[in-house]
Structure 1
Amino acid sequence: MFDEETFSGLIDAPLLRNRLAFPEQRRLPLKYSSGIRSYYPKQYGISRIIDALLVRLRNLNIELLTSSQISQLKRENRRVSHVVIESNTATETVDNVEALVWTAGSMPLSALLGMPLVGLPKPRRKTVIVSMLLKEPPQMGDLYCFFCADSPYSTYRITNFAAFCPDSVRATGYPICVELLVDTGIERSADDLAEQAKREILAFGLVSSPDDICFARAEILQAGFPGMSCAVIEEVDRVRNAIVELDIANLVHGGILSEPDLFFQPEVIADLYRKLDRL
């Protein structure tokens, strides 16, 4: 809404500061910094963190089920008593459930609890992830990401992995991720969307020529930002409140919107930690 010079004179107003990001985050006055740090693996790939967590969980004798889904929840005396889990090869029932920790959203949970649902409105836009390899580093300076809200572009974020993880660079090029928001009402192929992402990073000046792009592949997500419209949040709130009214003693409900206005990751994690600490 404002350039940096204008907003520097407005940032002292709490109403604006709580709603608007400072235009240049690296020059944000330190007294307004959240103090929250971000962590990235020294070597490229978030999968390294996932793999390390899996090893720790297994060392704690935690059984991990993959390619599986919960198909039924059975209740007795205000408690979840049995959980039925289905996989491609078998159906397993877990009896005498001490606690069910649920972080997969209120809607799937309410369906398993047999509650009626109202159809959710479809988002007007869908998310497309375009993975690219460039011959040279993108012309972003030391930025690891930037956001775009300018018409007529569909790109809303570009991430330069090499800016925070030099090991991401490989013999075939410099990896970047281009995220698009496109209208849901228009059917387009992944190849067409990849070509659009190429055109837009050229227009942004990240590359000097289309020949600088070695590789581009688009993936159209079934769900993704910005799926939380006001209408969706209102319905999630209604369903969550109905779940609370069931008063299930051994249910721990965590994750996004498991509490009113609970959305951003640091608050989601802190909320779940507090809930688990009370078990």
Structure 2
Amino acid sequence: MSSASTDPKGAVLDDIDSRPGSVTSLARTVLGAYVRDLGGWIAIADFSALLARLGIPEQSTRTAVARLKSKGVLDAESRGGQSGYRITDAAEAMYLRGEPRIFGFRQMAEDDAWHLISFGIPESERAARHQLRRRLSAIGCGTVSPGLWICPEYLAPEAGAIISALQLDDYITTFRATNLSTPNSLRAAAAQWWNLPALARRHRTFLDHHRGLLALENLSDQQSFEHFVPLLDEWRSIPYLDPGLPQPMLPLDWPGPESVDLFARAQRRCLEPSRRWVRSTQP
């Protein structure tokens, strides 16, 4: 059994350490969007061939696979006399958790509830406290003060899973809030609680890199794969970092809606054709 399925702290690592555009990140994206569609197993040669269509040399693929195996994402498994890789049960659970976030961006309405997380963690649990802050930030929680975090109520189950996996439940108190009162405007509060400039840069960079896809004509199924995988790889961290704040809390020039629309249109255009091409490459 992989370490990710036995270590409760590993269970919440998910994808937060992935660097979009790196070979390992692209391999994770191909596994999640395409190898799972094949049933969760792929021959070594076929996986290398898919990544080669993205310009990735075979040696780099082997290095990325070694990292994914060490992370508990892949296991080696032979089928029908062929050596291959199987997505582990722990990784399948990770991908299932991620699908609603990546393919269904959530946006708060003005009257939606908030989830508040208050914690006082002793110095003896300093490492776990650091991991808690890191992981809450990675799913879109904002910092009201050093011991108080905030997120939309719909993120409460994810936050709770992180707290439990880190075995910190005894130090945490949570609240459901329907009204926020701040010294200044809610827009000013959001700018203080979240790093909105950094998040806006992520949206704008995504738009700059990929808006040209929609202007391309007559894409073949293979070309859909070659264009959509890098787009999906860059996109998939954004819905985690962006909590989907209500419009009145965001800057007037917020690029999020345009970014969300670009991904949705690219998904409708490319995901199924690219999967069709991947299926056609299998014996």
**Normalised by the size of structure 1, how large is the TM-score?**
0.25
**Normalised by the size of structure 2, how large is the TM-score?**
0.25
Please identify which structure carries the higher strand content.
Answer: 1
Please identify which structure carries the higher helix content.
Answer: 2
Q: Which has the higher contact order (CA 8 A, sep 6+)?
A: 2
